[in-house]
Amino acid sequence: MSYMYPLVLTIHILVGVSVIGLVLLQHGKGADMGAAFGSGSSGSLFGASGSANFMSRTTGILAAVFFMTSLGLAYMANAKPAVSGSVMDAAVQQVPATAPADVPAPAKDGSKAQDIPK
The 3-state secondary structure of the chain reads CCCHHHHHHHHHHHHHHHHHHHHHHCCCCCHHHHHHCCCCHHHCCCCCCHHHHHHHHHHHHHHHHHHHHHHHHHHHHHCCCCCCCCHHHHHCCCCCCCCCCCCCCCCCCCCCHHHCCC
Q: Tell me whether residue 99 is in a domain.
A: no
Highest mean pLDDT among 5-9, 38-42, 50-54, 85-89: 5-9
Q: Tell me whether residue 58 is in a domain.
A: yes
The residue with greater pLDDT, 101 or 18, is 18
Instruction: Domain count for the chain, please give it.
Output: 1
Q: Tell me whether residue 3 is in a domain.
A: yes
Percentage of residues of the chain with pLDDT beyond 70: 48
Question: For 42-46, 85-89, 109-113, which range has the lowest pLDDT when averaged over its residues?
Answer: 42-46
Q: Tell me whether residue 101 is in a domain.
A: no
Q: Tell me whether residue 66 is in a domain.
A: yes
Give per-residue pLDDT as tens, 2-23. Answer: 789 999 999 999 999 999 999 9
Q: Tell me whether residue 97 is in a domain.
A: no
Asked if the model's pLDDT at residue 45 lies above 60, the reply is no
Q: Tell me whether residue 5 is in a domain.
A: yes
Question: Chain-wide mean pLDDT for the chain?
Answer: 76
User: Is 2 buried (19+), middle (13-18) or exposed (0-12) by CB count in 10 A?
Assistant: exposed
pTM (2 decimals)? Answer: 0.53
Q: Tell me whether residue 73 is in a domain.
A: yes
Domain, as residue range, for 67: 1-24+46-81
The residue with greater pLDDT, 39 or 4, is 4
